[in-house]
Amino acid sequence: MSAGLESNALEGATILLLPGLYNSGPGHWQTHWEAMLPNAKRVQQQKWDSPCRSDWVATLDAAIETQDGPVILAAHSLGCALTVWWAAEHGHKSHAEKVRGALLVAPPDVERDGFSAFASGFAPMPRAALPFPAIVAASSDDPWCDLVRAQSWAADWRARFCPIGAQGHINADSGLHDWPQGRRWLAQLASG
């Protein structure tokens, strides 16, 4: 998809950026997207360093409900677990139809030993099929989730699985900057 077609596809929807634990800092691809895409909005959560699932899901639900038009979710790490929990709890509501798709990047293994020390209530990971198209991007050397586990979740969610090689946790340390491939996937979701 060319840059022009990508821009056109992304113009029609609000992109809600869903960071994970500790939020996304200055070098993160989500922060680059927030600066460069006029229709991208970061969903500001409470307690970035000790998230509670019910609070985060309620904040996301309010953010989706207040949008006037279609929505694309761009989630990273715990934002992926947030997305699938939101879909499990609110995907049947009328305003959920606004969500046209989700880019789920580096879902963390919320079920692994000790994860609950970081975040409350995100395990077990919901496994029901998502009510919207989704793409799961995962790294072969992600310290927070094994590639096979991410692929299994993608299959359960009926999402397209896109392994991207050894990119760590697909965050600022991965050096992706404005991550053109991620934007192309976002545009594909926006264009249906």
The pLDDT tens digits for 138-174 are: 999 999 999 999 999 999 999 999 999 999 999 999 9
Q: What's the rounded Cα separation, in Å, for the pair 37 and 63? A: 18
Q: What pTM did the predictor assign?
A: 0.95
Please report the pLDDT score of residue 54 as a whole number. 97
Could you tell me which residues are beta bridge partners of residue 162? 137
pLDDT reported for residue 114: 83
Q: Are strands 71-76 and 99-105 parallel, antiparallel or unpaired?
A: parallel
Concatenating the DSSP letter of every residue in 43-75 gives ---S-TTS-BHHHHHHHHHHHHHT-SS-EEEEE
- For the chain, which domains are there? 15-191 (3.40.50.1820)
pLDDT of residue 1: 46
Rounded to whole angstroms, the Cα distance separating 176 from 185 reads: 14
pLDDT score recorded for residue 4: 53
Residue type, 167: Q
Q: What residue ranges of the chain have pLDDT lower than 50?
A: 1-2
